[in-house]
Structures are given as structure tokens and as C-alpha cells.
Structure 1
Amino acid sequence: MHVPPGCERSQAGEYHHVGNPAFRYLAEDDGRTLTLTLARARKDGGVGEAPDAGAITLVLTRTPEGFVGETHATGFSVAGTPCPVKFPTEITACGATTLTLRAVTSTSLDEACRPPPSGPEPKWTEQVLRRGAPPPPQAEAPSSAPDAGVGPTDGGRSGG
């Protein structure tokens, strides 16, 4: 099989999108097929156990041609009709804590939920997912500027 180095090991677990940590994924890996399902974040910061109805799912298989498959999602026709869509997807790298995906990220659909016979070429983009929950939001660092507030005038004693 021709898969990127490191991709032969299990990729099961929880992931988040490096560019947008709100996109959280649950990954199942049986050794041949990796399935990543977009999951909604819970209020406690974890990932929901059950995927949302109509959730985005990536199904990739280790093959002689690479670690390839499709992203399944719901798109909308020009008339606003919900349409099931599939985008070609591949994994191009498996790091110790990351998966790098290459996928077609958009398409046009006609009223019958089909791609039009002519139009722009599909646009491929790279996405990076990091294993584990995303880091907590960064609190603002304390300022090194002097405090402009009024300090105690009694040598720090209180009570009078």
C-alpha cells in the first residue's frame, strides 16, 4: 500500500481543526478505513458522542493509490434545496499529533442537486487536524504598563 509515513498506525481519537478549533472530529479507524465525523462541541468543552444529523463525514481508505476517499456533506442548490454532496479527499501526511488532509471544498449544484456540466475546476485546499481537544482560549497577558489607578495612600494598611 502507498500511504504517507505514519498513516499505517491507528488514527482513531478526537481531533480539532487547527484553523478553527470549533470544528471537532471523532475518528474511528479499523486499520483499513478511517472515518472522521464532525461532532458538535459540548458546553463542558468535550465533543458530543453522537454526530449531528446531516453531519460532515470523511471516509478514507488505505489503498495502493494512497490514503484516499470522500467527504460526505449536505450542500444546497441554487434554489436552496438541501443536497447530499461528496468531495474527493485524501490524507497527505500523518504526524505524531496531526492529520493533513487535501480536499475539494466547494462545488456548484443545479436545481436537481447535480454539478453543472461546465464550470470552474474544483478547488483543492489543505486542512490540518490536531489530535485531542483544542487548547483553551488564551487569556490576555498582564500588561507591563504601570497601573493608572489610584494606589493606597496609607502605606498599604487598611481599616483606618
Structure 2
Amino acid sequence: MSRAIPWIAAGGLAAALMACPARTPSPPPASPPIRVPSGCEKNQAGEYHHTDNPAFRYLGEDDGGTLTLTLARTREGVEAQADGGTTVSIVLNRTPDGFVGETRSTTFTTGGMACPVRFPTQAMVCDDKGLTLRTVASTSIDEDCRPAPSGPKPVWKEQRLLRAVPDAGVPDAGTPTP
């Protein structure tokens, strides 16, 4: 009889467990909605040029979540080429906090060391004519490529990029402000 008690107890436990209602898993939390300026939800792929210096052209690639604008600097009579070996790109993501990201570039210290830099950037306007971006236009770095402990504070500036390639023969106005 002592052998039957463990089997009876085990059978009773199994029956009790099978009778318990199964828990329904709770649905995963909903992702917050993406909030971007009107028009920015559309595909922004294509060619752009800077309004202040049309010699600076951008090629935009858009996968629906991220827009990447790569800068190609051109001069009269010269085909578009990478920006002098220092790639400049603007990467913007559609997020609940807006169409935000950064401008990525390379700058040089006073000693000549190449430093990768990233400037916060956001799209303010997306329309049929182009994009208006707000970005930090400049910042100070030290000889170790870190933000300088002193110096001017970062300055925000709006930049306008127009769709399409500008007319041929646009003069080069120097270094762009990203």
C-alpha cells in the first residue's frame, strides 16, 4: 500500500495541473508612432544640391526608415566625385522623436590629425522642392579628436537642399556647411 500512495499523489497532481486554465500571453507593447514633419514620410531618394552652393550635390537613398544623403563635390567641367577623400554623409531616421540623425564627416586638428565628427541633424521640412535640415554647423575639437573643453558652443543652422541637379556651369563657392 505504501507504493500506491506516490502514484496516486502524482496522478492527482497531474490532473490538478491539467485542469488549471492556461495563461494567455500578453501582447507585446505597441511601438510608439513615428512622428515626422509632413511630407517626410514619403520616399526622399534622389539627387539634391545645396542652395547656398549648388556645386555641392547630394545623392539620397531612402529605404522607408532611413534616408542617407552622400555628398559629392563637383566643379565646372569635372564629373561628380567623392568629397576630396573625406566622405560626408547625412543619415536621418524616421522615429517617434522626428526625422533625426546626424551629419558624419572628417575634420582635421591644428596638428593635422584626421578626426571623424558627427553633428546632430534633423529634417524640418520635406516638400516637393527639397529638404530643410537643421544641424550643428561647427564645433571645437582638441588634438585627441574629443570635444574641446573650451571654445565656442555648437551653433545650429538651417540648410536647404533642393531636388535635382543644378544647371551646368555652377561656380564652386568653396567649402560647404553640412
TM over 0.5: yes
TM-score normalised over the length of structure 2: 0.70
Instruction: Please state how far the C-alpha of 1:137 moved relative to its aligned partner.
Output: 5.2
Corresponding pairs, count: 137
1:73 aligned onto 2:105: yes
**Native 8 Å contact 2:76 2:168 kept in 1:** no
1:90 aligned onto 2:118: no
Residue 65 (structure 2) aligns with: 32
Give distance in 2, aligned partners of 1:116 and 1:52: 25
With 88-97 and 51-60 compared, the bigger mean Cα shift is at: 51-60
**Native 8 Å contact 1:77 1:108 kept in 2:** no
Instruction: Please state how far the C-alpha of 1:12 moved relative to its aligned partner.
Output: 0.2
1:22 aligned onto 2:55: yes
1:12 aligned onto 2:45: yes
The residue matched to 1:129 in structure 2 has which SS?
A: strand
**Native 8 Å contact 1:11 1:27 kept in 2:** yes
Amino acid at match of 1:38: L
Give distance in 1, aligned partners of 2:39 and 2:80: 25
Instruction: Please state how far the C-alpha of 1:44 moved relative to its aligned partner.
Output: 6.0
Question: Any stretches of 5+ residues in structure 1 without a counterpart?
Answer: 139-160
1:60 aligned onto 2:60: no
Aligned-residue sequence identity (percent) comes to 57
Instruction: Please state how far the C-alpha of 1:63 moved relative to its aligned partner.
Output: 0.4
Question: Any stretches of 5+ residues in structure 2 without a counterpart?
Answer: 1-33, 171-178
* Higher-helix-fraction structure: 2
Instruction: Please state how far the C-alpha of 1:52 moved relative to its aligned partner.
Output: 5.6
With 38-47 and 90-99 compared, the bigger mean Cα shift is at: 38-47
Amino acid at match of 1:127: Q
Question: Cα gap change, 1:76/1:45 in structure 2, threshold over 3 Å: closer, same or farther?
Answer: closer
Instruction: Please state how far the C-alpha of 1:73 moved relative to its aligned partner.
Output: 0.4
Please tell me whether Structure 1 or Structure 2 has the larger radius of gyration of its CA atoms: 2
Question: Cα gap change, 1:125/1:111 in structure 2, threshold over 3 Å: closer, same or farther?
Answer: same
Give distance in 1, aligned partners of 2:108 and 2:83: 20
Question: Cα gap change, 1:45/1:14 in structure 2, threshold over 3 Å: closer, same or farther?
Answer: farther
Cα shift readout 1:108-148 (whole Å, capped 9, x = no counterpart):
1111011112332210000000000113459xxxxxxxxxx
**Native 8 Å contact 1:66 1:90 kept in 2:** yes
The residue matched to 1:115 in structure 2 has which SS?
A: coil
